[in-house]
Amino acid sequence: MAILNYLPDAYPNHIPSVLAGNDLMRASFGAGFPLFANAFYTKLGVGWASSVLAFISIAFIPIPFVLYKYGPLLRNKYSKIAKKDL
């Protein structure tokens, strides 16, 4: 949910598009999960399937810290529309 606070601050001239893109991605993942969840849990079992999801979640833990450290560099060097003084 912190991304909903960050995106409008980083892209103030494109707030509706940024938030719509975020909602589209979130809804896509939410709509896609039920398509493979049944087979996923049937083949791996509840324990391993839930563990795989937990391991994926654990892999995403460092992302906010990496973006906190390298965010200004990424915004300044690679983005033409991001707010530079954030």
Question: What would the mean pLDDT of 15-30 be, rounded to a whole number?
Answer: 94
Q: What is the pLDDT of residues 41-65, one digit of tens each?
A: 999 999 999 999 999 999 999 988 9
Q: Is 7 in contact with 22 (CB distance < 8 Å)? A: yes
Question: What would the mean pLDDT of 16-39 be, rounded to a whole number?
Answer: 94
Say how far apart CA 79 and CA 18 lie, in whole Å.
14
DSSP SS3 for 62: coil
Query: In b/e form, how buried is each residue of 11-44, taking b as 16+ CB within 10 angstroms?
Result: beeeeeebeeeeeeeeeeeeeeeeeeeeebeeee
